[in-house]
């Protein structure tokens, strides 16, 4: 990825233009467009944040190797939110006040909830492919999700669990967070709506590590399945491991955050874990996704997951808006980005599938699938919509 320091290393316009073949000498002398990347890069969600950064970086490489975004190079400016509100606010302030970013890729409910009011005041556009909580629905006109809120996804995975997995009794284990609470409420409402019973529920803290007392209590109700609401991959893996160690052989249900490399460390203990995900399959990505999958595999030596595809799509979405504004001879600001996006792009086809935006509340609808952990991989087993 080319950043500001790269420019200083090369004397002369030809040298800079030669590094990026699609960029002219005149374009190369202009400051790059800076995109804020405010995501957890350390802490319990750090591995997931780094995976998302990998996907976004492939997008930056592609744009910078071509004609740029609106004729200019782009640069990701990274700030570590640790998935925490205060760190998110500090990172937002630095990205806006110091780095002068007008668009920020961000995620995690606590962070979005904390910075959305600031984004509205500053007219900085927030775009997220990693915020699942319906608690942020309509939080700001300057926030748009490209990840389905989970009050929508539970409407898909729960009927599947009832009809295909033959789940009758469900327990819910809720992490104490905005996302966890909102998701648990949606699960309980929809499971009751389709005529089944919640037999047990309990809560745990975001930093909790010993789940055995809670699990023993839940398992006393003999649930067919346990729905997990944590978004922390390490914690999800700990819950499943400890449940298996005390004898639970039933099903776990969850959502897209379950697709975390920590879960794969469980080996066969992860058998029987099902979760909903956007309908992206790296093994069969379709014509739109093939370019991304090939580029990612060439750069990192492995197949990309849905989180990496989502963040690649964010970069290409940004570039499409920048190109459109450039054709209109308009500067890219948070306000102009939002106006162009909402006026011209109600739908978007990306590597991770089709996006249908609802700009009134910042939500999105995407076709979805159910995946399972099998043979050390996250594997699609059925369509949900």
Listed by start position, the domains of the chain span: 4-149+284-367, 150-279+369-383
Count Cβ neighbours within 10 Å for each residue of 279-300 and write b for 16 or more, e otherwise.
bbbbeebeeebeebbebbeeee
Q: For tokens 């249908």, what's the residue?
A: 356
Mean pLDDT score of the chain, rounded to an integer? 91
What pLDDT score does 287 carry?
Answer: 85
- Which of 204, 262, 220, 213 is closest to 238 using CA atoms? 262
The dihedrals phi and psi of 166, each to the nearest 5 degrees, come to 60, 35
Assessment of whether the complete model's pTM goes beyond 0.85? no
Under a CB-based contact definition with an 8 Å cutoff, are residues 45 and 233 in contact?
Answer: yes
What pLDDT score does 292 carry?
Answer: 97
Given its phi and psi angles, is residue 87 left (phi above 0), alpha (psi -120 to 50 degrees) or beta?
Answer: alpha
Fold of the domain built from segment(s) 4-149+284-367: Rossmann fold (3.40.50)
**Rounded Cα–Cα distance for residues 83 and 95 (Å):** 16
Could you write out the DSSP letters of every residue in 286-349?
HHHHHHHHHHHHHHHSS---HHHHHHHHHHHHHHHHHHHHHHTT----HHHHHHHHHHH-SEEE
- Which of 169, 170, 164, 177 is closest to 135 using CA atoms? 177
339 has a pLDDT exceeding 70? yes
Given its phi and psi angles, is residue 301 left (phi above 0), alpha (psi -120 to 50 degrees) or beta?
Answer: left
Under a CB-based contact definition with an 8 Å cutoff, are residues 34 and 77 in contact?
Answer: yes
273 has a pLDDT exceeding 50? yes
Taking only the tens place, the pLDDT of each residue in 62-82 is: 999 999 999 999 999 999 999
**Rounded Cα–Cα distance for residues 96 and 103 (Å):** 9
CA distances from 352 to 18, 136, 286, 355, 384 (A): 32, 22, 9, 9, 16
Under a CB-based contact definition with an 8 Å cutoff, are residues 362 and 139 in contact?
Answer: yes
What pLDDT score does 150 carry?
Answer: 83
Under a CB-based contact definition with an 8 Å cutoff, are residues 133 and 127 in contact?
Answer: no
165 has a pLDDT exceeding 50? yes
Under a CB-based contact definition with an 8 Å cutoff, are residues 281 and 269 in contact?
Answer: no
Q: Copy the structure tokens of residue 145.
A: 């999700």
Residues sharing a CB contact under 8 Å with residue 251, sequence separation 6 or more, in sequence order: 161, 165, 167, 224, 225, 226, 272, 273, 274
Under a CB-based contact definition with an 8 Å cutoff, are residues 196 and 170 in contact?
Answer: yes
Query: What average pLDDT score do residues 136-146 get?
Result: 97
| Helix or strand (DSSP H, E) at 103 | strand 103-106
What pLDDT score does 1 carry?
Answer: 40
What pLDDT score does 31 carry?
Answer: 92
Taking only the tens place, the pLDDT of each residue in 89-123 is: 999 999 999 999 999 999 999 999 999 999 999 99
Could you tell me the pLDDT band of residue 15, with boundaries at 50, 70 and 90? very low
CATH number of the 150-279+369-383 domain: 3.40.50.2300
299 has a pLDDT exceeding 80? yes
Q: For tokens 């750069």, what's the residue?
A: 299
Question: Count of residues for the chain?
Answer: 385
Q: For tokens 């991959």, what's the residue?
A: 233
CA distances from 327 to 23, 139, 307, 376, 382 (A): 17, 31, 31, 47, 42
**Rounded Cα–Cα distance for residues 220 and 238 (Å):** 19
300 has a pLDDT exceeding 90? yes
Could you tell me the pLDDT band of residue 20, with boundaries at 50, 70 and 90? very low
Taking only the tens place, the pLDDT of each residue in 89-98 is: 999 999 999 9
Could you tell me the pLDDT band of residue 17, with boundaries at 50, 70 and 90? very low
Do 150-279+369-383 and 4-149+284-367 have the same topology in CATH? yes
**Rounded Cα–Cα distance for residues 109 and 111 (Å):** 5
- Which of 380, 347, 363 is closest to 153 using CA atoms? 363
């Amino acid at each position: 990825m080319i950043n500001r320091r790269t420019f200083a290393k090369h004397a002369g316009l030809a040298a800079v233009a030669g590094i990026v073949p699609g960029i002219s000498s005149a374009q190369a002398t202009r400051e790059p467009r800076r995109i804020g990347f405010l995501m957890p890069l350390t802490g319990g969600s750090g591995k997931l944040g780094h995976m998302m950064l990998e996907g976004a970086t492939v997008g930056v490489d592609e744009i910078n190797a071509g004609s740029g975004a609106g004729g200019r190079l782009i640069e990701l400016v990274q700030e570590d939110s640790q998935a925490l509100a205060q760190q998110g606010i500090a990172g937002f302030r630095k990205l806006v006040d110091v780095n002068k970013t007008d668009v920020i890729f961000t995620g995690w409910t606590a962070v979005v909830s904390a910075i959305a009011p600031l984004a509205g005041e500053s007219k900085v556009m927030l775009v997220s492919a990693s915020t699942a909580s319906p608690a942020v629905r309509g939080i700001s006109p300057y926030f748009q999700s490209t990840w389905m809120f989970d009050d929508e996804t539970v409407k898909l995975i729960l009927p599947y669990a009832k009809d295909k997995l033959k789940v009758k009794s469900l327990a819910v284990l809720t992490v104490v967070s905005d996302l966890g609470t909102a998701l648990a409420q949606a699960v309980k409402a929809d499971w009751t709506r389709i005529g089944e019973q919640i037999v047990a529920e309990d809560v745990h803290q975001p930093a909790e590590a010993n789940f055995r007392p809670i699990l023993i209590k839940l398992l006393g109700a003999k649930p067919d399945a346990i729905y997990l609401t944590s978004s922390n991959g390490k914690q999800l893996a700990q819950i499943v491991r400890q449940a298996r160690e005390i004898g639970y052989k039933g099903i776990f249900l969850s959502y897209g955050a379950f697709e975390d490399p920590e879960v794969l460390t469980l080996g066969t203990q992860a058998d029987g874990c099902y979760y909903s995900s956007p309908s992206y399959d790296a093994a069969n990505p379709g014509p739109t996704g093939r370019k991304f999958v090939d580029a990612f595999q060439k750069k990192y030596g492995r197949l990309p997951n849905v989180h990496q595809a989502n963040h690649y799509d964010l970069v290409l979405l940004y570039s499409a808006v920048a190109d459109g504004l450039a054709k209109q001879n308009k500067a890219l600001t948070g306000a102009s980005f939002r106006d162009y996006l909402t006026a011209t792009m109600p739908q978007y086809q990306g590597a991770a599938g089709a996006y249908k935006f609802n700009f009134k509340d910042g939500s999105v609808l995407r076709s979805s699938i159910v995946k399972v952990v099998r043979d050390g991989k996250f594997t699609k087993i059925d369509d949900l919509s």
